[in-house]
């Protein structure tokens, strides 16, 4: 029995709020309006300031989780992990443990920048003709992205564990508490998620996803509707208790392989070996100057 729902998870970037914060002042000074999000037309919120710390995320529930961890004495890394786990629940279309991530970390005391690569990798069975049709022509993106064949070996969970081992302060299990609580007690669908569900054409074709995100008549559940996800909570409890190995080995890994290889649309070829063999890579960052700032990000 699958523990997790077939979420559409692309990638996450815990440090994204930092880059937005640095870029916003220049735009505000020049009177430039922020570009809207392509899918929903959503624009940036008003700027905010703080004296001691700030947690920035794409959803207020995730930002609140980060604030909770910081108030408990956690590090910025601890907060980023808690934020990521909540984002998986409340913004599954954009971020989650089923995908990959980068982690950009600055150690102020040691003046050291570290960038970790936890992005998805292709299964070992992948070949160059993976997304060609029977005539040898490239598949349309809308066709290729749906199903198991487009699923890479997920790296987020292993990345979060690596980051916590390096820079975490609170216990690993404490960081899962906010997401588990929301998954079990429920959260309100945000206007952004509701808008994206209204545009989505393929998710409703999956019975489990349809039961979770859509009404019986096929309408997407409206903003404000309370969703509960006990299956996701169970998955998080397993990872919180046994670490990343609970995700990459054993029952959860078997469920992932079964879901990907057994998908009716473009079945994939991820194996248990692909999952158990996943490793996080530390790479050199890329840095550049912008006005009085030095901006750094994940290198190739």
pLDDT one-digit tens code per residue, 236-248 = 999 999 999 999 9
Tokens representing 217? 């008549």
- Taking residues 45-71, report their average pLDDT: 92
The average confidence (pLDDT) of the chain is: 88
Q: pLDDT band for 36, please (50, 70, 90 cuts).
A: low
Q: Most distant CA pair in the chain: distance in Å?
A: 61
- Taking residues 50-60, report their average pLDDT: 92
Give the per-residue pLDDT at 201. 86
pLDDT tens string 184-243: 999 999 999 999 999 998 889 889 999 999 999 999 999 999 999 999 999 999 999 999
pLDDT at 4 over 50: no
Q: pLDDT band for 48, please (50, 70, 90 cuts).
A: confident
* Cα–Cα dist 84/97, whole Å: 8
Give the per-residue pLDDT at 28. 40
Give the per-residue pLDDT at 9. 36
286 contact partners, CB below 8 Å, separation of at least 6 = 296, 297, 298, 299, 300
- Is 105 in contact with 19 (CB distance < 8 Å)? no
């Amino acid at each position: 029995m699958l523990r997790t729902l077939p979420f559409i998870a692309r990638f996450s970037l815990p440090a994204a709020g930092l880059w937005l914060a640095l870029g916003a002042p220049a735009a505000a000074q020049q009177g430039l309006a922020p570009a809207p999000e392509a899918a929903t037309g959503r624009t940036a919120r008003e700027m905010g300031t703080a004296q001691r710390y700030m947690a920035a995320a794409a959803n207020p529930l995730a930002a609140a989780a980060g604030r909770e961890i910081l108030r408990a004495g956690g590090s910025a890394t601890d907060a980023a992990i808690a934020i990521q786990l909540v984002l998986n629940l409340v913004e599954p279309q954009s971020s989650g443990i089923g995908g990959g991530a980068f982690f950009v970390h600055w150690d102020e005391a040691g003046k050291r920048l570290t960038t970790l690569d936890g992005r998805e990798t292709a299964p070992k069975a992948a070949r160059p003709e993976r997304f060609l049709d029977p005539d040898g022509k490239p598949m349309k993106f809308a066709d290729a992205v749906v199903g198991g064949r487009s699923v890479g070996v997920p790296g987020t969970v292993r990345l979060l564990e690596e980051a916590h081992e390096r820079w975490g302060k609170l216990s690993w299990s404490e960081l899962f508490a906010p997401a588990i609580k929301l998954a079990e007690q429920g959260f309100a669908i945000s206007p952004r998620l509701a808008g994206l569900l209204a545009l989505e054409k393929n998710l409703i074709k999956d019975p489990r996803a349809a039961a979770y995100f859509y009404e019986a008549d096929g309408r997407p559940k409206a903003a404000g509707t309370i969703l509960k996800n006990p299956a996701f909570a169970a998955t998080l409890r397993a990872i919180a208790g046994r670490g990343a190995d609970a995700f990459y080995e054993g029952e959860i890994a078997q469920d992932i392989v079964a879901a990907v290889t057994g998908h009716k649309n473009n079945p994939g070829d991820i194996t248990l070996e692909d999952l158990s063999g996943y490793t996080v890579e530390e790479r050199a960052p890329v840095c550049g100057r912008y006005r009085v700032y030095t901006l750094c990000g994940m290198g190739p």
